[in-house]
Amino acid sequence: MQRERDKASADAWLEFAEDDLTGAEALRKADGPPQVICFLCQQAAEKGYKAYLAWHGEENPPRTHDMALLRSKALALGAKNPPEDADELTPYATARYPGRRRVGPDEVEPAFVLAREVIAWVRKTIGGQE
């Protein structure tokens, strides 16, 4: 049984996703710490996937940073072609903690590309009423 679409909840998740991406962009322009920028890109993509899940009626999207899990949940709901490479963002969820691998400046642009892909895919998908 298909749940009713929840556009308001999906839009709320997307708003927060785009806020994270805006924050990451501001830090990038200020030469901010790459690990924080990449974390915000990961958060943007994560919230993008959660927007898709919310649109499908998931009242409480899973509390996880695992992009592969979020993608698989989207696929289980019938998603067509969610960005596969966004799984590469998962490690950035914890990169801002001590003892984790330091993130290099060369990782910033690819993280932005992946986050933008997820958000664009969600916007296109829920806008097209998949």
- 58 or 46, which is more confident? 46
Place of tokens 């998949």: 130
Nearest CA-CA partner of 40 in 104, 95, 105, 117: 95
pLDDT beyond 50 at 98: yes
Lowest mean pLDDT among 33-37, 57-61, 79-83: 57-61
pLDDT for 1 beyond 80:
no
Lookup: tokens for 24: 């990451």
Closest CA to 56 of 99, 96, 6, 15: 6
Is residue 39 helix, strand or coil? helix
Instruction: Quick: pLDDT tens for 47-79.
Output: 999 999 999 887 778 788 999 999 999 999 999
The token pair at 125 is 């998908």
Domains of the chain: 7-127 (1.20.120.330)
The Cα 7–Cα 126 span in angstroms is 8
Average pLDDT (29-35) is: 96
2 has a pLDDT exceeding 90: no
Query: What is the pLDDT, as a whole number, of residue 27?
Result: 97
Kindly tell me if the per-residue pLDDT of 6 is higher than 60.
yes
CA distances from 112 to 2, 75, 79, 120, 129 (A): 33, 23, 22, 12, 26
